[in-house]
């Protein structure tokens, strides 16, 4: 019976993961409504768009040296900069090549240098590369799916509080509702550095029994 239940869960995960990839929450659905400023590094790609100058639209690769080549300004040190910082550098250097003040948008295309942790009752616990549209379901699926002991109704996300770096937030996600009820809005986007913990059914039951309405944790609804 346990194997049959688990097969159903895995099948549901496969379908729901496909939905998350094709129609999952956008990056802008993160906590503060904005994409966190990711620090670019070697191996990353970013796109450059300049309003009114279609010929300047391009995708740029950052080589191991960290020095990228952006047309028409040439070489610039991109490694170690956030997208907004790189935006300012390109805007400043581009002014001598265009006739009007450029409006530049820089968007990271990859997130090579950030990871999320997936721990607990999953097939392959560990550290996984963060991608721009990585949801809780996608992370758990990538980590080998839940084990038969997993309590997927109480997946816990530990997230550093960006306003108070010495504190963390706990977000509880009900992946059972995402998979079996199609409630995709409960499958939140992850942030770089998040810890995804899938508890076992026993510890989850104990936690639920001991929890109080005043428990200090944020829940994803």
Q: Which of the listed CATH numbers 3.30.1950.10, 3.30.310.50, 3.30.470.10, 3.50.50.60 matches domain 45-108?
A: 3.30.1950.10
For the chain, how big is the Rg over CA atoms in Å?
Answer: 21
**In this structure, what DSSP letter does residue 106 have?**
E
Please say whether the beta carbons of 125 and 179 come within 8 A: no
In terms of DSSP bridges, do strands 115-120 and 195-198 run parallel, antiparallel, or are they unpaired?
Answer: parallel
Domain residue ranges in the chain: 2-27+114-219, 45-108
Query: For 107-129, how does the pLDDT look when each residue is reduced to its tens digit (9 = 90+)?
Result: 988 777 678 899 999 999 999 88
Res 204: pLDDT: 80
170 in helix, strand or coil? strand
Domain 2-27+114-219 matches domain 45-108 at the CATH topology level: no
What pTM does this model have?
0.56
Contacts of residue 166, Cβ cutoff 8 Å, sequence gap at least 6: none
Question: For the CA atoms of 149, 170, 30, 57, what is the dihedral angle to 10 degrees?
Answer: -80
Res 122: pLDDT: 96
Query: For 67-89, how does the pLDDT look when each residue is reduced to its tens digit (9 = 90+)?
Result: 999 999 999 999 989 899 999 99
Res 29: pLDDT: 32
Given a cut of 90, is residue 19 above it in pLDDT?
Answer: no
Instruction: Say how far apart CA 116 and CA 128 lie, in whole Å.
Output: 5
Res 49: pLDDT: 96
Q: Which of the listed CATH numbers 3.30.390.50, 2.60.40.10, 3.10.560.10, 1.20.120.1200 matches domain 2-27+114-219?
A: 3.10.560.10
């Amino acid at each position: 019976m346990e194997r049959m239940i688990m097969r159903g869960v895995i099948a549901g995960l496969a379908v729901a993961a496909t939905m998350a990839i094709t129609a999952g929450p956008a990056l802008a659905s993160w906590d503060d409504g904005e994409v966190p400023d990711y620090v670019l590094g070697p191996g990353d790609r970013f796109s450059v768009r300049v309003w009114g100058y279609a010929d300047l639209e391009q995708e740029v690769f950052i080589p191991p040296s960290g020095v990228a080549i952006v047309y028409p300004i040439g070489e610039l040190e991109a490694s170690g900069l956030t997208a907004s910082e790189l935006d300012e550098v390109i805007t400043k250097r581009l002014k001598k090549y265009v006739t009007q003040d450029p409006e530049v948008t820089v968007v990271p295309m990859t997130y090579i240098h950030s990871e999320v942790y997936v721990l607990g009752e999953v097939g392959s616990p560990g550290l996984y590369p963060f991608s721009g549209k990585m949801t809780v379901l996608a992370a758990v699926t990538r980590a080998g799916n839940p084990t038969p002991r997993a309590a997927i109704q109480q997946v816990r996300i530990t997230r550093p509080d960006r306003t108070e770096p010495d504190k963390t937030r706990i977000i509880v996600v009900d992946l059972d509702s995402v998979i079996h009820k199609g409630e995709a809005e409960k499958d939140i986007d992850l942030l770089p550095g998040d810890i995804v913990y899938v508890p076992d059914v026993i510890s989850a039951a104990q936690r639920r029994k001991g929890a109080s309405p005043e428990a200090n944790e944020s829940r994803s609804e």
